[in-house]
Amino acid sequence: MDFKEAVSCLVSDIQSYNKNLNEKLLREAFEFGRVAHDGQTRSNGDPYYSHCVAVAKNLAGKKMDTDTIITALLHDTVEDTKVNSEEITKLFGQDVANLVAGVTKLEALENISEVSKQAKNFRKLLLAMSEDIRVLLVKLSDRLHNIQTLHHIAKPEKRIRIATETMEIHVPLAELIGIRDWKEEMEDICFNTINPDAHSSIVGRLKFISKEQGDNIVTNVVKELDDLMTEHKIKNEISGRKKTPYSIWRKMQKKDIGFEQLSDIMAFRIVVDSVDDCYRVLGLIHATYRLVPGRFKDYISLPKKNNYRSLHTGVIGPAGQRVEIQIRTKEMHEFAELGVAAHWSYKSGDKESIVKEGKNYRWLRELLEIVEHSNSDDEVMSDTKMEMYAENVFVFSPKGDIVNLPKMATPIDFAYSIHSGVGNKTIGARINGKVMPLKTELKNGDQVEIITQSNAEPKEAWKNIVVSGKARSAIRRFIRNKRRDEYVEHGKSLLMRTFKSAGFDLTEKDIKFLTEKYDYKEPEMFFVAVGDGTRGVNESLYAVHPEARETDKKTKETPPPELNKGKVASKGKSSLIGGLPDDMVIRFPKCCHAIPGDKIVGVVSTGQGISIHNVRCKEVLKEHDIQNSSIDLYWRDELIDKEKVIENVNFVARINVLASNKPGALNSITTVILNLGVNLSDLKIVSRSSDFWDVNIDLEVKSVGKLTEVMASLRMSNDIISVTRL
Ligand code: MN
């Protein structure tokens, strides 16, 4: 990179939107950064500083203020060069120094797990963001460039690790702050890195559709829409594009659709002058083209969590294709493109308003609250990821206030979103005036009223019913405080027994070692984690005495032959389920094949133990009527989230596949399944006509996540018409 040219180019980029740029200062910062990184290179051999310049350029593209762009140029100096914070303060001011410090990762985090490092850095980032939200813009721009250059990293595992982290943390943050194009670009590259097969078949399919429809299809539709607007004298700007492979993949995973039905691959945007015009255009479109049911969304009346506003609709558009149309005003459009940056960027250079802006984000406050009250790094990451999950459902309070919750939220999530005090005292809920179970999934527009009782307490099973990180974190906190003493006791004696039976004493030194190794603030917290099952007791034993693992393996290698498979497996399985009474035998009845990730309920039948059903299973109602004793159960997600699901314990899920009766169709089904490393335990042909195969397949999986992946991959095969879970 020619740095002389680069700096001039950057200056003219900024001057195009900011006439008051302090050019001298910017050039000084540029030179300062260049000298500091001199001699360092990126993995492709480019000078390291080219990365900092690219990060600055991205931010200039978002019309950011000078301090932010200077920060971009210097963002890696403190972490990777001899420069220190004092120097930056002296030369470029306190604000820039604080911003750089905010972007800098914690140094020297050694001897702790990857998730602990991630959690500690994430906590630091959130705190810095709450001081000054511009830190997030620099961080995202930095990540965007690292993702754009991800292919230069040689090791595939490293690429996948970075892509996964980006998907889990940076993509949702970009969504929350409303920078759509960065979000989409990161998503697509990460998707291609993590799942190259799926990516390439979607790209292939898109090419095929384009060929069928003709290359000018987007232009043609734009023209037809434009004619319609002109005819009705509505001033507007229309643009159209193909959807990204990742957004198509998401849709295939979420909805039960196959590639064949996936004609909806184009999106159009109509930008008009006023809110009135938005609704006029909407009326016009609906009057002219046939509506696709379920696709209309009014984000003007009910903005998204990140304040995004727009009308969305889906119609069978010009040329008989399904298309998505977004209608919005110029202001809404600016916000949709620039996100939060639209509000302040270079215009309001004053720091006060920016700081205030950051404090206004409810999502940021809620993330901070979770981080501050979490007990361990695992909890920080799992609860915040849950909270960042972007899709929403809108419900109403009894007074008519809109409450914005994650999709599939329950009345319990609603209660906790009001206040954790309300959540903790909840005993019931009225939805649209009717008393409904607390695990009911809320739908858009529901009116929800919470029934509380002053001496009520949250139930442990709620942890797995709720879908908001805020609710889960609050429930954990309550239960932890209440059960703490109990768990300390239990955890400690469990450890002592386990150590003893392996022939060791549990010493003070061991306790100190384990507390530090697993990163708990104090030994009591470690005992609690062992007591409530978050931290495995054998894992702790092996950490101190690795030789014990060998002995254990040997004794386990030869299981008694006729201790039948079912019993051994269900023992393993019962340890994954929370809320079970002691020493009960569990069964997984064939009616619904519940697997980790499903919401579950247990039905107790005398002499037969507990059968574990999916809450949606119709058999539950029948059994429940007769026996009248069901118990709330939940998957111990802390064991499942991290794929710590016990080795060799698999769950059987049944799916139905409808495939065209072509040679090789069955073979392609099994190939897809086996390629994903999933075992196929049974395949039954339900019927076979001249056109179709109708088959039921039993798959051995560890969780719903894997099952969804299998189903989505099957749907991409050209021979497969539909895939449904049974
Ligand atoms: Mn960087």
| DSSP state letter for 168 | I
CA 327 – CA 299 distance, rounded (Å): 10
Ligand 1 mean position, distance from CA 371 (Å) = 24
Ligand 1 mean position, distance from CA 104 (Å) = 9
- Active-site residue among 2, 23, 31, 79? 79
- Active-site residue among 23, 28, 65, 80? 80
- What's the token pair of residue 547? 């030789």
Task: Give the Å distances, CA to CA, from 600 to 578, 584, 631, 707.
Answer: 10, 16, 9, 17
CA 328 – CA 276 distance, rounded (Å): 10
Ligand 1 mean position, distance from CA 105 (Å) = 10
Kindly give, in sequence order, each residue whose CB lies less than 8 Å from that of residue 296, ignoring residues fewer than 6 positions away.
311, 312, 313, 314
Ligand 1 mean position, distance from CA 203 (Å) = 30
Specify the 3-state DSSP secondary structure of 697: strand
| DSSP state letter for 361 | -
- What's the token pair of residue 78? 């403190």
Ligand 1 mean position, distance from CA 100 (Å) = 11
Ligand 1 mean position, distance from CA 429 (Å) = 49
Cβ burial 19-41 (10 Å sphere, 16+ → b, else e): eebeeebbeebbebbbebbeeee
Ligand 1 mean position, distance from CA 53 (Å) = 10
Specify the 3-state DSSP secondary structure of 98: helix
Respond yes or no: is residue 401 known to be catalytic: no
Burial of 350 (0-12, 13-18, 19+ CB in 10 A): exposed
Cβ atoms of 122 and 380 closer than 8 Å: yes
Ligand 1 mean position, distance from CA 91 (Å) = 21
In sequence order, what are the beta bridge partners of 447? 396
Ligand 1 mean position, distance from CA 124 (Å) = 16
pLDDT on residue 70: 94
Ligand 1 mean position, distance from CA 336 (Å) = 26
Ligand 1 mean position, distance from CA 388 (Å) = 23
Centroid of chain to Cα 139: 18
Ligand 1 mean position, distance from CA 74 (Å) = 9
Ligand 1 mean position, distance from CA 334 (Å) = 27
If you write DSSP's letter for every residue of 232-301 in order, what string do you get? Answer: TT--EEEEEEEPPHHHHHHHHHHSS--STT----EEEEEEESSHHHHHHHHHHHHHHSEEPTT--EETTT
Burial of 490 (0-12, 13-18, 19+ CB in 10 A): middle
Count CB atoms within 10 A of the CB of residue 725.
17
Element counts in the chain: helices (H) and strands (E): 32, 21
Ligand 1 mean position, distance from CA 149 (Å) = 12
Ligand 1 mean position, distance from CA 51 (Å) = 7
pLDDT on residue 606: 62
CA 138 – CA 144 distance, rounded (Å): 10
Respond yes or no: is residue 277 known to be catalytic: no
pTM: 0.67
Ramachandran angles phi, psi of 603, nearest 5°: -115, 125
pLDDT on residue 90: 93
**Successive 10-residue mean pLDDT values, the chain, 726 residues:** 88 88 92 92 89 94 89 91 89 92 77 78 87 90 95 90 91 86 93 89 80 76 89 88 84 66 78 94 92 87 83 84 89 77 54 60 79 77 74 80 83 92 91 87 87 87 86 86 74 85 89 90 84 78 85 53 38 73 74 81 72 77 56 72 58 87 78 82 77 85 84 81 84
In sequence order, what are the beta bridge partners of 692? 660
Ligand 1 mean position, distance from CA 256 (Å) = 40
